[in-house]
Homo-oligomer: A and B are copies of this chain.
């Protein structure tokens, strides 16, 4: 068995937790109900299982190569991208007016998970194109939108995000790439960008780079950064390709994982094109507002990277289950079988598999609930509904990105462990997920950057109001749990309540101390993020538990529903139970984080 998309679990989350029926009431999404979702996910599953999943391991062994500025991608990638594009997957979530399918993010996020489970390295190309399209949709001129977006959605062209420079990673204030206006509305760009995912490749005719740079008279810091379109090949007004622009791929990186995705060093303005020195660029929106636009693109990308965490966790989980069912070793400790048994019969193997399963399902539920909030925030006719959902979604982005990717490290590591010695042998494939996952808490903003966002803009700025509103909704779920008398509901109630109370204590600490004791608050920023992500994912598991209990009692899909109850209870007892300890380390442990002076290390 290779990868099988968890379509049933996705549909459960979408229907029962994310409220897909409500999303389908939003104007424009009328056709995006459960039936559509089922059809799209089935087709997505088929395509990815058949076309992309089989290329994943081969791409790791035999990743792309660089030669004199050109990158040849891994075997099969070019052909697969053609199929991917022709089937319309790139346009899934984008407006129909530019050739997209205009589906809600609630469905798009699930498709994103499937794509990334099948092939994380491949999926990065459409992920970055999505981000570039988002930025153009928000800040591009009508002409720019018409010129670039349709060809990006059709897969003829792809997009990139050019932020990082050697001295400017998390801190974009340090960006030095220059953009000099030419008087004709164009700019000449020069500088070096690093870590550019799919910055060069052979899968599409053209690459539309979105590049952060400074104009000559721009102010210092983040308020002097502008955003530019820099196509690899210049584009005529009719969309046909012109001269090779002055952007050159100097090398690609030798990485721990996601090896089949070329990570480029791009040099702008070294006179290596056909346009003379300086890459020709076109301003997006207004000068000096580049960071603001880039954040739009980054927010989309951050959510998508969170989904990558869920995706690689799901794939690692499936592989571990398969191995645990096949590998025969040792008699069960309870003597229930007379001889050596498949290792899934051993309690510790089950503990590992349940941990992997519970974390993955919890994060999936959280991401899909967040996606539905995005849809409502952007498309609901009622402004108040839009506003509430926007606030909720914004709070969720650092959790989906930070918590789901950190949990993917735990899950992929357990995946190796379930395989024992075979997990360390590359041919087995479990190690690839462990390596691939390791980038996820780093790119598109490290977990610490997500945590800064959670602490600063999402919690302290409104005095913890949005956070407390979420806590109040969790308390409602607790009240519903309290009216049930199953062991699972009781266990969930106990752990959810303890975790929610811990969360509120931490929110009070963060909102109350940020000005007087910033170091104390930021010493606990990542633990706060982990606590909040753990809680919110657990909250969704609690909601799932109640739905599943009711459906099982009604005889609906009993095996699946009972498994959901068991998994939710496991989450409560083994994952939510971590929360009070994290709270203690945040509230009581902040002094010791910075007690040792930098010089003393």
Contacts and interface: CB of A to CB of B under 8 A. Distances in A.
Interface of A: 164, 167, 169-171, 173-174, 194-195, 253-257, 321, 324-325, 328-330, 333-335, 340, 342, 344-351, 353-354, 357, 409, 413, 416-417, 420-421, 423-427, 431, 434-435, 438-439, 441-443, 446-448, 451-452, 487, 491, 518-519, 522-527, 559, 562-563, 566-567, 569-570, 572-574, 577-581, 584-585, 588-589, 591-596, 598, 600-601
Contacts of A423: 438, 442
A426 to B, nearest CB: 5
A544 to B, nearest CB: 14
A328 B167 contact: yes
Given A346-B448, A349-B448, A596-B563, A578 B580 contact: no
Please classify the interface of chain A as helix (H, G, I), strand (E, B), loop, or mixed, using the class held by over half of its residues: helix
Contact of A420 (B169, B416, B491, B579): B169
B420 A170 contact: yes
Contacts of A434: 256, 438
A593 B451 CA distance: 31
A522 B491 contact: no
B519 A334 contact: yes
A177 to B, nearest CB: 17
Contact of A443 (B347, B421, B519): B421
B424 A601 contact: no
A58 to B, nearest CB: 14
A578 B584 CA distance: 9
A255 B441 contact: no
A426 B351 contact: no
25 contacts: A169-B420, A173-B340, A174-B329, A195-B421, A255-B425, A255-B426, A256-B426, A342-B598, A347-B519, A347-B593, A347-B594, A348-B451, A348-B525, A350-B594, A351-B526, A351-B593, A424-B438, A424-B439, A434-B438, A562-B600, A569-B595, A570-B593, A573-B585, A574-B585, A574-B593
A133 B220 CA distance: 66
- Interface-centre pick from A346, A451, A598 (highest chain B CB count, 10 A): A598
Contact of A598 (B325, B333, B334): B325
A591 B442 CA distance: 36
Given A347-B525, A435-B435, A330 B171 contact: yes
A120 to B, nearest CB: 13
Given A164-B421, A256-B434, A351-B523, A344 B446 contact: no
Contacts of A573: 584-585, 588-589, 592
A522 B592 contact: no
A255 B424 contact: yes
A254 to B, nearest CB: 5
B424 A442 contact: yes
Contact of A257 (B330, B424, B569, B572): B424
Contacts of A596: 350, 354, 563, 566-567, 570
Nearest to A520: B347
Contacts of A566: 592, 595-596, 600
Nearest to A354: B593
B171 A329 contact: yes
B585 A169 contact: no
